[in-house]
């Protein structure tokens, strides 16, 4: 108290005794309440924090995988530098439409020296059509004077496989058993992508391409599982180049050498072609795969207006004749 005026000291009013208001908080003062937690509470808190960090890291890794650097130009395919195309076929219209699109690619067997056709169990239409398609494409090349004349050239041009995977869901299958059958299909697709499937034949290449360079699908349910399997493999770093750079529309320079991006293979890029029958709305497979594929092609401009507000859809005109 101020003795001269008989009034309380202003300093004592603003800073009462026993209160240290000017002390900065430290880690010790912040973590002091945690000391009062029971051991079980501390364990639960640690578990929650650890899982939160793990989930954030998983989202970051997934974002990196889904936003990989653009493809680099590949060297010409050869025996020592094979190129691998994986095509997902579905029973009925999906197979007919896909083979119709690929039939316009006259040099398919030259540009893609390894070709894998994936079909689901119980589909006897697609394997026969794929075999017929390969024979027709080989005949076209031979007629046009391609490299299908020699025995070695024939071996390379006929380097294809037809792999059968378990069907993800049969017609009228119970929803209770669908997760189990989908997991079996997923495991088969992983074996296909890693060249461990039992349907693969011996190849004539000195260096067999392990993972596909490109995955092509147009809507069958099996295609969703194949793309999902490729994302899982890329997530754990089992295939493809480094995904540390985001997509870019800029033209990137190419270098030459063993460590150059120009020689990278097995990138498992994916292209989804929406069915010609889809005019205004996307199919269920399209909606599921839209955020996962590298390119999403549609054949009607109305689809871009209705479903392409995020800029993901590409209108390329009618691909089916």
Q: Within this chain, do residues 95 and 222 fall inside the same structural domain, yes or no?
A: yes
Checking if the pLDDT of 18 tops 60, the result is no
Q: Residue 233 — pLDDT band, cuts 50, 70, 90? A: very high
85 backbone dihedrals φ, ψ, rounded to 5°: -110, 130
Q: Is the dihedral of CA 299, 301, 303, 304 positive or negative?
A: positive
Q: Within this chain, do residues 210 and 121 fall inside the same structural domain, yes or no?
A: yes
**Tokens of residue 92, six digits:** 């009925």
**What is the number of alpha carbons within 13 Å of residue 56 lying toward its C-beta?**
6
Residue 92: which domain range? 67-274
Distance of CA 309 to the CA centre of its chain: 21
**What is the number of alpha carbons within 13 Å of residue 288 lying toward its C-beta?**
15
Q: Summarize pLDDT for 145-179 with one digit per residue, the tens.
A: 765 555 555 666 668 999 999 998 887 788 788 88
Q: Within this chain, do residues 97 and 77 fall inside the same structural domain, yes or no?
A: yes
Checking if the pLDDT of 32 tops 70, the result is no
Calculate mean pLDDT across residues 101-130.
92
State the angle between helix axes of 221-235 and 39-66 in degrees (0 to 180), rounded to the nearest 10: 110
Q: Within this chain, do residues 106 and 191 fall inside the same structural domain, yes or no?
A: yes
Share of the chain above pLDDT 90, in %: 43
Collect all residues with Cβ–Cβ distance below 8 Å to 239 and sequence separation of at least 6: 193, 194, 210, 211, 230, 233, 266, 267, 268
Evaluate whether residue 253 is within a structural domain: yes
DSSP conformational letter for 2 = B
Q: Quick one: pLDDT at residue 92?
A: 76
Q: Quick one: pLDDT at residue 68?
A: 81
d(CA 134, CA 157): 9
Identify which has the larger pLDDT, 270 or 10: 270
Q: Terminus-to-terminus CA distance in the chain, angstroms?
A: 100
Identify which has the larger pLDDT, 3 or 105: 105
Q: Summarize pLDDT for 260-314 with one digit per residue, the tens.
A: 444 467 889 999 999 999 999 999 999 999 999 999 999 999 999 888 888 889 9
**What is the number of alpha carbons within 13 Å of residue 81 lying toward its C-beta?**
10
**What is the number of alpha carbons within 13 Å of residue 265 lying toward its C-beta?**
21
Q: Within this chain, do residues 142 and 247 fall inside the same structural domain, yes or no?
A: yes
Q: Within this chain, do residues 194 and 218 fall inside the same structural domain, yes or no?
A: yes
pTM score: 0.79
CATH of residue 93: 3.40.50
Evaluate whether residue 192 is within a structural domain: yes
Q: Within this chain, do residues 40 and 71 fall inside the same structural domain, yes or no?
A: no
Alpha helices in 194-250 (DSSP H): 221-235
Evaluate whether residue 150 is within a structural domain: yes
What value does the mean pLDDT of the chain take?
Answer: 80
Q: Quick one: pLDDT at residue 249?
A: 40
Task: Describe the strand order of the beta sheet including 84-88 as a list of residue ranges.
Answer: 160-165, 114-120, 84-88, 214-217, 269-273, 295-298, 313-315
d(CA 144, CA 138): 10
Q: Quick one: pLDDT at residue 138?
A: 87
Evaluate whether residue 284 is within a structural domain: no
- Which of 47-51, 140-144, 234-238 has the weakest average pLDDT? 140-144
Q: Within this chain, do residues 35 and 92 fall inside the same structural domain, yes or no?
A: no
Q: Is the dihedral of CA 43, 48, 52, 57 positive or negative?
A: positive
Identify which has the larger pLDDT, 211 or 256: 211
Q: Within this chain, do residues 176 and 247 fall inside the same structural domain, yes or no?
A: yes
Collect all residues with Cβ–Cβ distance below 8 Å to 117 and sequence separation of at least 6: 87, 89, 126, 127, 130, 160, 161, 162, 163
Task: Calculate ∠ Cα 41-43-45, nearest 5°.
Answer: 70
Checking if the pLDDT of 7 tops 60, the result is no
Evaluate whether residue 178 is within a structural domain: yes
**Which of 46, 61, 76 is a domain's end point?**
61
**Which of 61, 86, 108 is a domain's end point?**
61
Tally of domains within the chain = 2
Checking if the pLDDT of 258 tops 60, the result is no
Evaluate whether residue 9 is within a structural domain: no
Q: Within this chain, do residues 56 and 108 fall inside the same structural domain, yes or no?
A: no
Calculate mean pLDDT across residues 139-146.
79
Evaluate whether residue 187 is within a structural domain: yes
Q: Within this chain, do residues 143 and 248 fall inside the same structural domain, yes or no?
A: yes
Evaluate whether residue 304 is within a structural domain: no
Q: Quick one: pLDDT at residue 186?
A: 96
Q: Quick one: pLDDT at residue 157?
A: 65
Q: Is the dihedral of CA 191, 192, 195, 199 positive or negative?
A: positive
Checking if the pLDDT of 80 tops 90, the result is no
Q: Within this chain, do residues 152 and 105 fall inside the same structural domain, yes or no?
A: yes
């Amino acid at each position: 108290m101020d003795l001269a005026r008989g009034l309380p000291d202003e300093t004592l009013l603003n800073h009462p005794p026993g209160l240290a208001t000017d002390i900065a908080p430290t880690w010790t003062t912040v973590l002091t309440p945690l000391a009062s937690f029971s051991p079980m509470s501390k364990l639960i808190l640690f578990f929650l924090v650890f899982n939160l960090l793990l989930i954030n890291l998983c989202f970051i890794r997934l974002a990196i995988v889904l936003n990989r650097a653009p493809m680099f130009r590949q060297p010409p395919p050869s025996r020592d530098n094979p190129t691998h195309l994986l095509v997902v076929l579905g029973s009925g219209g999906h197979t007919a439409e896909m083979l119709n699109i690929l039939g316009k690619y006259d040099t398919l067997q030259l540009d893609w020296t390894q070709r894998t056709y994936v079909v689901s169990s119980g589909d006897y239409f697609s394997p026969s059509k794929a075999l017929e398609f390969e024979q027709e494409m080989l005949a076209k090349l031979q007629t046009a004077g391609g490299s299908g004349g020699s025995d070695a050239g024939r071996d390379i041009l006929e380097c294809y496989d037809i792999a059968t995977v378990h069907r993800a869901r049969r017609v009228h299958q119970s929803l209770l058993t669908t997760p189990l059958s989908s997991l079996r299909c997923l495991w088969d697709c992983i074996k296909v992508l890693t060249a461990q499937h039992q349907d693969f034949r011996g190849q004539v290449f000195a260096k067999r391409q392990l993972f596909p360079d490109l995955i092509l699908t147009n809507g069958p349910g099996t295609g969703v599982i194949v793309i999902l399997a490729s994302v899982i493999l890329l997530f754990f770093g089992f295939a493809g180049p480094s995904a540390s750079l985001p997509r870019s529309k800029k033209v990137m320079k190419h270098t030459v050498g063993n460590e150059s991006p120009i020689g990278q293979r097995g990138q498992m890029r994916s292209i989804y072609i929406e069915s010609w029958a889809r005019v205004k709305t996307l199919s269920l497979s399209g909606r599921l795969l839209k955020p996962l594929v590298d390119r999403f092609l549609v054949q009607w401009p109305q689809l871009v207006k209705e479903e392409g507000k995020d800029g993901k859809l590409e209108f390329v005109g009618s691909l089916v004749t």
